Amino acid sequence: MTELTHLTISEARDGLKAKTFSAAELAQAHIAAVEKARALNAYVLETPEKALAQAKASDEKIAKGEARPLEGIPLGIKDLFCTEGVVSTAGSRILGNFTPPYESTVTQNLWNDGAVMLGKLNMDEFAMGSSNETSAFGPVVSPWRREGSNVSAGASGQIEGTHLVPGGSSGGSAAAVAAHLCLGATATDTGGSIRQPAAFTGTVGIKPTYGRVSRWGTVAFASSLDQAGPITRTVRDAAIMLRSMAGPDAKDTTCVDLPVPDFEAAVTRGVKGLKIGIPKEYRVDGMSPEIEALWRQGTEWLRAAGAEIVEVSLPHTKYALPAYYIVAPAEASSNLARYDGVRYGLRENGRDIVDLYEKTRAAGFGREVKRRIMIGTYVLSAGYYDAYYVRAQKIRTLIKRDFEEVYAQGVHAILTPATPSAAFGIGEKGSGDPVEMYLNDIFTVTVNMAGLPGIAVPAGLDSQGLPLGLQLIGRAFDEETLFAAGQVIEDAAGRIALPQPWWA
């Protein structure tokens, strides 16, 4: 029998149903793997007792023939989702020991469908970052290593050598899925935080259409861009997990009242007769030949599977990232105003209330978060609002219009690279100029600005043996086409062999 931690969600579902193994055995295998992988720092909190209790309940359901869609499936939860009675940190010091007395809609949906929680996953502070280096709990170590690299697990249980980042902000989620520390993980994406770490770790990540998944109970970063989705090891698993996460929610007025399609049924649909657009503006200056070759290869795979390939134009692409760095910080500065040391989390006492606020926020927020709150405060301040914020929102309208015009020409989905490069080493980017780090999201951020769905699928390895991903962008509320086309890429590329556990 294959190791239980190496199953896909769909294989585990079959095995549980056939009683080849129990949910308790499946949970136990994962708990053991998580314990042995602490050096990776993927989990900020392990919840083995909860996992075993949920697994026991799942075994009872299975015995009665009442298995639900995710019955007994062990998952990791990004620490941006509030979980009742379980400390939730958003990767920040400012939340202190905040223990939500409520459950986020996404996680409640997963538990209602029978899923099992292994613990909370590390992330960039308030989801602001592309490398998981801004977490208050330290960076996550990618399970991937460059060929011939010196990274290893030292005698003390600490990682030695310059390790790679797993991407971010959902770095813990991507690393945990790639290292077989859960069968799937929840993640969130404001500018690329699901798709970029998925591409860096050889996993599949989908950011659904804005409004497909409820944001209630998920710590807010930029409310008009934030959307939750899964990171998994296969396209089919992403379809299974998203179906459980999504759906209408009366508690979130931006969550749409649309029925959730059977995403898994779409996986085998194929791309015959579909029109796939290749946007010429994504061929950026200085693009690595490896990324360009991968993109061309992806195009050929889709063509061979029966899709019609057309070149399309999205003329405002280059303005998406700068406009994002006005809109997202502006919303963040407003959303993060709530962390004031009064109602929950950290408090640093001061001589008066303003001093208390200022000291609490200075001590509780990390550098990247402070920087973004300050940029947001500046672009919203009197005299600068029109020049920065209103202009950026107008450009956002133009970015969305670009996509609408392409889709009006009959294009069903758009193929692009997921990231401009493979994973980089810790400390290699953004230490001097924050913009260097921001450029990681150049291919993903347009999708958030336009509210569209996007999926990242592993498509190959670079010359250093590191995974590279392709991105498919869909029409609003048409995640099904992304699953269909994503499966074509997965089939053609072959499942990427994930790293052996050198850390254990």
Partner 1 sequence: MSVDEKTVRRIAHLARIAVTDEEVPHLQGELNAILSFVEQLNEVNVDGVEPMTSVTPMTMKKRQDGVTDGGYPDKIIRNAPATEDNFFLVPKVVE
Nearer to partner 1, 373 or 457 (CB): 373
DSSP string over 134-192: T-TT-PPPPS---TT---EE-TTS-EES-PBP--SSSHHHHHHHHTTSSSEEEEEESSS
Q: Is there binding between residue 420 and partner 1 (CB under 8 A)?
A: no
For residue 10, indicate whether it is catalytic: no
Given 130, 135, 170, 193, the catalytic residue: 193
Chain positions 124 to 183 lying near partner 1, rule: CB under 8 A, are none
Q: Which stretch binds partner 1 (CB under 8 A): 9-17, 110-118, 386-394, 408-416?
A: 386-394
Nearest 5°: phi and psi at 503? -85, -15
Please enumerate in sequence order all residues whose Cβ is within 8 A of that of 72, keeping only pairs 6 or more positions apart, or say none.
Answer: 12, 16, 22, 23, 26, 27, 55, 58, 59, 62, 114, 116
- DSSP structure class, residue 275: E
| Interface with partner 1 (CB under 8 A), residue from 342, 427, 463, 495 | 342
Tell how far CA 42 is from the center of its chain: 14
Judged by beta carbon, residue 20 or residue 97, the one nearer partner 1 is 97
**Helix spans in 269-366 (H):** 289-304, 320-335, 353-364
CA-to-CA distance for 346 and 362, rounded, in angstroms?
11
The single residue among 46, 56, 344, 420 that binds partner 1, judged by CB under 8 A, is 344
**CA atoms of 388 and 348, how far apart (whole Å):** 33
22 part of the active site? no
Residue with tokens 């929610």: 249
* 366 contacts partner 1 (rule: CB under 8 A): no
Burial class of residue 84 in the structure, from the number of CB atoms within 10 Å of its CB (0-12 exposed, 13-18 middle, 19+ buried): middle
46 Cβ neighbours under 8 A, 6+ residues apart = 31, 34, 35, 118, 119
Any contact of residue 326 with partner 1 (CB under 8 A)?
A: yes
Name the residue nearer to partner 1 (CB basis): 184 or 430.
430
b/e map 19-53, b = 16+ CB within 10 Å: eebbbbbbbbbbbebbebbebbbbbbbbbbebbbe
Complex with partner 1: residue 381 or 463, whichever CB lies closer: 381
365 binds partner 1 (CB under 8 A): yes
What is the nearest approach in angstroms of partner 1 to the Cβ of residue 377? Answer: 4
Residues 101-120 that bind partner 1 (CB under 8 A): 101
Name the catalytic one among 22, 58, 78, 170.
Answer: 78
Exactly one of 92, 130, 169, 214 is catalytic; name it.
169
Identify which of residues 301 and 438 has a Cβ nearer to partner 1 in the complex: 438
Among 347, 412, 429, 475, binds partner 1 (CB under 8 A): 347
322 part of the interface to partner 1, by CB under 8 A: yes
Name the residue nearer to partner 1 (CB basis): 8 or 317. Answer: 317
318 binds partner 1, rule: CB under 8 A: yes
Is 251 catalytic? The answer is no
- Selected binder of partner 1 within 396, 412, 429, 475 (CB under 8 A): 396
Build a one-symbol-per-residue string for 231-270: x at contacts with partner 1 by CB under 8 A, - elsewhere: -------------------x--xx-xx-------------
CB atoms within 10 A of CB 324: 27
Question: What's the 3-state SS for 28-80?
Answer: HHHHHHHHHCHHHCCEEEECHHHHHHHHHHHHHHHHCCCCCCCCCCEEEEECC
Binding of partner 1 by 304 (CB under 8 A): no
The answer to whether the beta carbons of residues 10 and 70 sit under 8 Å apart is: no
The CA distance from 241 to 264, in Å, is: 9
Q: How many residues bind partner 1 (CB under 8 A)?
A: 75
> Which parts of 441-460 interact with partner 1 (CB under 8 A)?
449-451
Among 152, 397, 409, 463, binds partner 1 (CB under 8 A): 397
Part in contact with partner 1 (CB under 8 A); list of ranges 93-101, 236-244, 301-309, 487-495: 93-101
User: How many angstroms separate the CA atoms of 73 and 12, rounded?
Assistant: 7
Which listed range, 26-34, 332-340, 421-429, 464-472, lies at the site for partner 1 (CB under 8 A)? 332-340
Q: Is 99 in the site for partner 1 (CB under 8 A)?
A: yes
Instruction: Answer yes or no whether residue 465 interacts with partner 1 by CB under 8 A.
Output: no
Residues identified as active-site: 78, 169, 193
